[in-house]
Amino acid sequence: MHFYYYLLAVAGAGAESRETAQATPPRPRYGDAGALRASVYGMNHGQRVLNADRFPDEPEVVLVVQVHNRPAYLKMLVRSLENTAEVRRFLVIFSHDHLSEEIAGIVQGVTFCKVLQIYYPFSQQLYPGEFPGQDPKDCPRDVGKEAAVKAGCLNAEHPDSYGHYREAHITQAKHHWWWKLHFAWERVRALQGFSGFAVFIEEDNYLLPDFYHFLKNMSRHRKAHCPDCDMLALGNHDGTSGFNELSGKLETTGWLSTKHNLGMGISREIYYKMMGCSDEFCTYDDYNWDWTLQSLSGTCISKPLKVLAARGTRVLHTGDCGLHQKDACQPEQAHARILDSLRQAKAALFPDTLAITRQGPVEHRAHVKNGGWGDIRDHALCKTYAKRL
C-alpha cells in the first residue's frame, strides 16, 4: 500500500468502536513490508496489555520506552526493571520502530509487570523504498542544491540549513519521539484517566532499584515545594559519580537538552503545551527531538520549561553506540560498567528524605541548529501526529 493511502487509513482508525479496538491484535507477519504494515495497524488498534490479569490494579508508574534495534541493550533495561522495587505497580509501554522476533521475544518475556507494545507506523522498515523511508529518487545527502535541481531528484528544492538532504535513518528518531508522545497520551486506552507523570526513556537506559521509591517521593516534593516545575528529570549524564552525597538531592532549573533528556517525566498538562507547538516542533531544522524541544522552551512555549531534576541519577545510560557510532557497540563492557555503578550506589539508595539543594536559572537557551530536518515531507508527516493519527 502506498504511504499516502495508508496515512489516510490510519487517520480514520479512531472512528471504530471501542469493542473492535479491544480485540486481540494479530501477531506481526515478518514478510513483505505491506504485510508488516497491516500487522502494525492491527496491533496499534488492538492494544493488548500483557500480564493484565496478573496485575489488575491501575498503574502507579508509567514508563514509555523508545525501542529501535539494539536487543542486547534492551535486555539490560528489562533486567533493570525486574530488579526495581515495586515494579508490579508499573505499566511499561514499549514503542517500537523496528520489528523482529528477537525483540518481540525479549519484551513478551516480561512477566513482572503490565506491558503494552505500540509501533511507530511510518518507519524505514515499513517503507523501505519510499518516503518516509529512503526513496531511491531522493537526492543524495551531499549532492549540493544546484546539482540536485539539475538531476531532478525528488527533494531538490528542500535541503537543510547546511545544504544537506534528508537521510531517513537520521530523521526517524525525531519522528518516532513526537508520534510516541502523542500516541501515548491520546490513543493508549490504558492511560485514560492517568494523572501522573509518564516517564520517557530509551532502550539503552537502565533503572536503579529505587526508581519507584524516588519517583513517588519526587512527585510529592514537587507538589509541596515546586508546584511551578513543569517536568521531572530522573536521570542525568553524570553516572553514579558522587552518588552517595547526591542521592537525596534535587535541583530546579530551566530544561536543557544536554542535561535533562534522560528519564523525562511529562504530565498531560505539559504534553498539551508541547502539542500546541506542533508546527514549530515539526518545522525546526534539527533532527534531534531534544534540541528541538529546547528551542521551543521560552519561545513558542512562552514560559521557559522548569524542571525538577535528580542530582543523583536514577536512570543510567548504557549505550556506547547510536546514530553515529554503529560499529562501536560493546554491550558486554556496558554491562560491566553498570554493575560497577550499582555497587557504588547501593548503600545510598532509598533515601529517607529529598531536598532541593540547588536552584538554577529558568530561561530560554538559544543554540545553533543541527540541521538534518529541512525536507517539507518530514514537516508535513510530523504535523499529522497531532491530528489524532
| Cell 531528484 found at | 153
Which helix H or strand E contains 230, and what residues bound it? none
| Pairwise CA distance, residues 354 & 123, whole Å | 41
What are the grid coordinates assigned to 192, written together?
A: 485514560
Q: Are strands 198-202 and 114-119 parallel, antiparallel or unpaired?
A: unpaired
Strands 315-317 and 205-207: antiparallel
Q: Is 68 annotated as a binding residue?
A: yes
Cβ count near 33 (within 10 Å):
17
Which of 67, 112, 119, 115 is CA-nearest to residue 91? Answer: 115
- The answer to the question of whether 366 is labelled as a binding residue is no
**204 known ligand binder:** yes
125 is in an annotated binding site: no
Q: Is 66 annotated as a binding residue?
A: yes
Q: What is the rounded CA–CA span in Å between residue 301 and residue 389?
A: 23
Check whether 175 is labelled as a binding-site residue.
Answer: yes
Say if residue 173 carries a ligand binding annotation.
Answer: yes
Cα dist from 22 to 40, 180, 254, whole Å = 15, 20, 41
The annotation status of 45 as a binding-site residue, yes or no, is no
The answer to whether the beta carbons of residues 234 and 265 sit under 8 Å apart is: yes
The C-alpha atoms of residue 325 and residue 345 are separated, in whole angstroms, by: 29
Helix (H, G, I), strand (E, B) or coil at 91: strand
Cα maximum dimension of the chain: 67
70 is in an annotated binding site: yes
With 0-12 / 13-18 / 19 or more C-beta atoms within 10 angstroms meaning exposed / middle / buried, residue 377 is middle
From the annotation, which residues make up the binding site for substrate?
66-70, 97, 172-176
Annotated binding site for Mn(2+): 204, 317
Binding residues: 66-70, 97, 172-176, 204, 317
